[in-house]
Amino acid sequence: MGAITVSVIHGVLIAGAVVLVAAAVAFEIFCLYALAKTRHPRYLPKWAWAILICVSGLGGFAFLAFGAG
């Protein structure tokens, strides 16, 4: 048993970052798909929700909480 090296820690951090980025992209794609399937979103037009989802980190959560209906 050896000590944990810096390269092992670096590899784990890179792998974790890749997983988080992939999950964020998948969530944005899911929200854009849900937006496309929503007939009449609440509070904002579809184009505004699409911009909010793509630009803001919390836009997808805001759409699911307030815009999807």
Asked if residue 17 is part of any domain, the answer here is: yes
Name the H helices within the chain.
6-37, 46-55, 59-62
pLDDT at 6: 78
- Which residues form the domain of 36? 6-67
Asked if residue 1 is part of any domain, the answer here is: no
**How many domains does the chain fold into?**
1
Tell me if 32 sits within 8 A of 50, measured CB to CB: yes
pLDDT at 22: 97
Tell me if 52 sits within 8 A of 62, measured CB to CB: yes
pLDDT per residue rounded down to tens, the chain (69 residues):
556 787 888 888 999 999 999 999 999 999 999 999 999 999 999 999 999 999 988 999 999 999 987
Please state the pTM of the whole predicted model. 0.82
Asked if residue 29 is part of any domain, the answer here is: yes
